[in-house]
Chain A
Amino acid sequence: MREGPLRDASIFVAAGMCGVASGLFGIGGGVLLVPFLALFFAFGQHRAQGTSLVALIPPTGLLAFLAYAKADFVSWQVGLLLIPGVFVGGILGGWLAKKLQPQRMRQVFAGLMFILGMWQAAAAWWH
């Protein structure tokens, strides 16, 4: 898609859909945003990942978080303990991404995610 207001608007709408998933499932949204950018806007894999990280720098989940916090669905102790690890691990992963074939990595990750998803759905509904 060519650059311009139409492309901008499309990106905003696509990201809004990622946002609904983000609030609904308590995730960052990057897991949808990366394939969206690549599939609909012809981003290369590395570029899609880098751009997705930009979108995750500001506290984009803030409004969703407030909705959960108001309902008392937050464990502060575990959350605060996890933050430093994720940050340091992120540097490591960004460095690794340059060395590895991200396509292959993504395939392995997608496979694991699919199995995990099936497991969760089965555990919730299979009684």
Chain B
Amino acid sequence: MNLIVILLGLGVGVLVGLLGIGGGVVLVPALVYLLRMDQHMAQGTSLLILLPPVGLGALREYWKQEQVDLRAGILCALGILVGGYVGGLIAVPIASRQLRGLFGCFLMLAAFLLLKKPQAQGLPKSSADEGRNRA
């Protein structure tokens, strides 16, 4: 069981680096279905995993390619910190089954947003943006 957990972490980590995400969106369902955790427990444990800078190694790869907007990143960190507290307060009193259903809806919405994103690579708009931020 411990081996499964460690391998699961490795798999989630690859997605973290590949997609620039925290990994919680994969961790939570994995904890619920593979380890039979309750929805609240899975979400709390996912937040624990995301406390240390697990994405640091991945960030280094992006940093080397100058694909990082530090100013925007710091602003985002502050926004998530504040918003996260509000979200946590909302989640705790919700019934676990309802929360699981909501999580499912959220996954569908996030999937939709990921697909909707324009093909920014190679567009004049995005290369101008990258040039400006690098300058």
Contact (Cβ within 8 A) A82 B87: no
A46 and B43 alpha carbons, distance in the complex (Å): 27
| A64 and B88 in contact, given A81-B2, A88-B57 (Cβ under 8 angstroms) | yes
Contact (Cβ within 8 A) B69 A47: yes
- Interface residues of A, count at CB 8 A: 108
A90 and B60 alpha carbons, distance in the complex (Å): 10
Contact (Cβ within 8 A) B97 A124: yes
Q: Which residue of B lies closest to A90 (CB)?
A: B58
Contacts of B61 in A (CB 8 A): 91, 94-95, 97-98
A43 and B105 alpha carbons, distance in the complex (Å): 26
Instruction: Please encode chain A, from 103 to 114, with 1 for each CB lying within 8 Å of some chain B CB and 0 for all others.
Output: 101110111011
Contact (Cβ within 8 A) A87 B68: no
Instruction: Please encode chain A, from 19 to 50, with 1 for each CB lying within 8 Å of some chain B CB and 0 for all others.
Output: 11111111111111111111101111111111
Q: Is A6 an interface residue (CB 8 A)?
A: no
Interface residues of A: mostly helix, strand, loop or mixed? helix
A62 and B58 alpha carbons, distance in the complex (Å): 21
Contact (Cβ within 8 A) A23 B87: yes
A117 and B107 alpha carbons, distance in the complex (Å): 5
| A121 and B101 in contact, given A54-B77, A97-B61, A113-B111 (Cβ under 8 angstroms) | yes
A64 and B14 alpha carbons, distance in the complex (Å): 25
Instruction: Please encode chain B, from 90 to 124, with 1 for each CB lying within 8 Å of some chain A CB and 0 for all others.
Output: 11100001101111111111111111111111000
A121 and B81 alpha carbons, distance in the complex (Å): 27
How far apart are B71's CB and chain A's nearest CB, in angstroms? 8
| A110 and B14 in contact, given A50-B20, A56-B50, A68-B47 (Cβ under 8 angstroms) | no
Contact (Cβ within 8 A) A116 B29: yes
Question: Could you say which of A13, A53, A98, A107 contacts B20, with CB atoms under 8 Å apart?
Answer: A53
Contact (Cβ within 8 A) A64 B87: yes
Contact (Cβ within 8 A) A105 B18: yes
Q: Which residue of B lies closest to A113 (CB)?
A: B111
Contact (Cβ within 8 A) A119 B104: yes
A100 and B11 alpha carbons, distance in the complex (Å): 17
| A57 and B56 in contact, given A25-B91, A120-B29, A124-B101 (Cβ under 8 angstroms) | yes
Contact (Cβ within 8 A) B79 A95: no
Inter-chain pairs besides A67-B91, A75-B44, 4 sampled, C-beta below 8 Å: A58-B77, A67-B89, A87-B13, A97-B61
